[in-house]
Amino acid sequence: MKLANRFSLPFFVLALAAAEDRQTLTPADRDFLTSHLETSRQELLKSIAGLTKEQWNHQPAGGGWSIAQCAEHLAATEDGLFGMVTGRLLKLPVAADRTRFGRAEDEKLIARIVDRSEKAKAPETLQPSGKFPTPESFVAEFHSRRQRSIEWVKSTQDDLRGRVSGSMDAYQYLVLMSAHTLRHTAQLNEVKQDAKYPR
């Protein structure tokens, strides 16, 4: 018993130091990302509310994705980015010897992603394949996936700012996921302006 007591205090001090060393999301970062994820979800769901099957599947005359295809791409991207953050990026060592990104960099990332003047081709794995034939079939799945992402952000104790891949930290990959939703919500709203869009 004396031997156990002899080592209990140093062990406690070391454990406490390790806990203090571990950085989690700041309340401001957690609130900002949660709010952005909720807002982008609301904007998307509001844009597809009440669509008929014909409107949902209408292909723009000038080419490009239908609303259904935009939506399917968003669902696939949600899974892809969330899985990359929780499955791969969190396994990276924490980069303690660098200046961490902050809100200014987050805002620049959002502005760059939502700017549709610069087009990008989705990778093959995120190309739509007709998975959601109706708006209702999409809404249930996307809502579930986004809620999973939001609840995880609310509760995670991982250091998202300290894990970096390329020019972004893990936190910013989730910011990108939300901004990407706004980007394609704008795209599907453009489909509604097509001259032959069903009214």
Distance, CA of 93 to CA of 104 (rounded, Å): 24
Measured CA angle at 178 (ends 94, 162), to 5 deg: 10
Instruction: Give the model confidence (pLDDT) of 175-198 as tens digits.
Output: 999 999 999 999 999 999 999 999
How many Cβ atoms are within 10 Å of 112's Cβ, its own excluded? 12
26-191 — its CATH code? 1.20.120.450
What is the reported pTM?
Answer: 0.87
Residue-level pLDDT at 66: 97
Instruction: Give the model confidence (pLDDT) of 35-51 as tens digits.
Output: 999 999 999 999 999 99
Distance, CA of 144 to CA of 106 (rounded, Å): 25
Q: Quick check: helix, strand or coil at residue 165?
A: strand
Domain edges within the chain: 26-191
Residue-level pLDDT at 142: 96
Distance, CA of 144 to CA of 162 (rounded, Å): 28
Q: What is the mean pLDDT of the chain?
A: 88
3-state helix, strand, coil in the chain (%, to 5): 65, 0, 35
Residue-level pLDDT at 91: 95
Residue-level pLDDT at 15: 36
Residue-level pLDDT at 180: 98
Instruction: Give the model confidence (pLDDT) of 58-80 as tens digits.
Output: 999 888 999 999 999 999 999 99
Place of tokens 């844009």: 47
The sign of the CA dihedral 109, 77, 42, 133 is: positive
Q: Quick check: helix, strand or coil at residue 169?
A: strand
Residue-level pLDDT at 19: 37
How many Cβ atoms are within 10 Å of 79's Cβ, its own excluded? 15
Distance, CA of 184 to CA of 157 (rounded, Å): 30
The sign of the CA dihedral 50, 152, 35, 113 is: negative
Instruction: Give the model confidence (pLDDT) of 92-110 as tens digits.
Output: 999 877 788 999 999 999 9
Q: Count CA atoms closer than 13 A to 38's CA, side-chain side.
A: 11
Place of tokens 């706004």: 182
